[in-house]
Structure 1
Amino acid sequence: MASKRTAMVAGGLALASAALMAFLGVWEGEGEYTVYADSLAGGLPTVCKGITPYTSSRPVVVGETWTAAECEAEEQRVVEQTQHALARCIEQPVPQHVFDALTSHAHNLGWPATCGSRAVRLINAGRLDAGCRALAWHPDGRPAWSYAGGRFYQGLHNRRLAEMAMCLGGQ
């Protein structure tokens, strides 16, 4: 079973940790086996825990139904691929909970956005707490990464706050 893999990346970090996969289930949907058009993403076809045509190795067609096993395998593949990309841009050793929080952010926004973020720049500069806080807040106190189509969404900000809390060491 794919979820029981114990793959590791540099520094001994687990890929697709159980804590991360549970977190994604809360924020991306647990048991979302029918492909739907994500309204916050402009109708982007989405299934499982946030799998889209941009990340999937197979077509994602609105209305199609995937099995639990298909979702689990694709989620594992996508998360591990994202984490390998993150491991290349995170230049400082980080604890698992920081890696998992950054992975959630990248899973939602794309690893290029996360790797290019102020949060990762701060973490790479050795400012871990400031980097974690940057997942949810701009320096001027405005919510960060909480907008879609130029509009603020409390649900997105709630996710950013949860990622910040995870990053800072809480679940």
Structure 2
Amino acid sequence: MNLRQKIATGAITLCSSTLVLFLGTWEGNGQNTVYADKLARGLPTVCKGITKHTSPDPVVVGDYWSDERCAEVEHLVIEKGQLALADCLTNQAIEQNTFDALTSHGHNFGMPSTCASRAVGLINAGRIADGCRALAKAPDGSPVWSYVTDAQGKKKFVPGLYARRLKEAELCAK
């Protein structure tokens, strides 16, 4: 049974409650006014990390989105991302928590980046525990996926991103 079949049978749930709560912790619960995300060089963002790159609707700084609109668009965006993620995961032994952790990562960095990551490569190779660790750490133990590039092109470590990566790795390995 491939991952799409596991989704169709309910063995893997799209937009699970665990994932929605996890994203709320890291992307913002009740963030109904569109803001310029400083970590993303001013990218307009709303709800649980919805941007112009993921939303079917315009995302304009200062606009207010109702709770209902946030929930509707979040659900759409998360499911679309998860279906893309399912297409790049070839290891059928993946469980819900691993799928949710990879979804969070992809929600933050984009599914193409997550699908091309060392973590997904390891997970697809059957090395799930190693892949989960790779969400937060390089082989030498240094942080990964925890940096932003500032306006001068300099890479800057962000402790909050690293904390999120560690929690994703923890969820992934559950």
TM-score (norm 2): 0.92
Equivalent pairs counted in the alignment come to: 162
Tell me the equivalent position of 1:154: 159
Q: Kindly report the root-mean-square deviation, in angstroms, between the aligned alpha carbons of the 2 structures.
A: 0.9
Q: Any runs of at least 4 consecutive aligned residues in structure 1 with deviations exceeding 4 A, and if so which?
A: none
Letter in 1 for 2:168: E
Alpha-carbon deviation of 1:141?
Answer: 1.3
SS at match of 1:151: strand
Alignment partner for residue 172 of structure 2, among 150, 167, 171?
A: 167
Any idea what the Cα deviations from partners look like across 1:125-152, whole Å, max 9, x if unmatched? 0000000000000111110100001100
Q: Distance in 2 between matches of 1:107 and 1:67?
A: 21
SS of aligned partner of 2:60: coil
TM (norm. structure 1) is 0.93
Deviations 1:96-122 (A, max 9, x none): 000000000000000000000000000
Contact 1:118 1:131 in 2 (8 A): yes
Q: Deviations over 1:26-58 (max 9, x none)?
A: 000000000000000000000000000000000
Residue 148 of structure 1 aligns to a residue whose secondary structure is: strand
8 A contact 1:132–1:167 mirrored in 2: yes
Equivalent position of 1:121 in the other structure: 121
Matched residue type, 1:129 = A
Contact 1:82/1:107, CA 8 A, preserved across alignment: yes
Unaligned runs of 5+ in 1: 1-7
Question: Is there any run of 5+ residues in structure 2 with no aligned partner, and where?
Answer: 150-154
Measure, in 2, the Cα distance between the counterparts of 1:121 and 1:138. 13
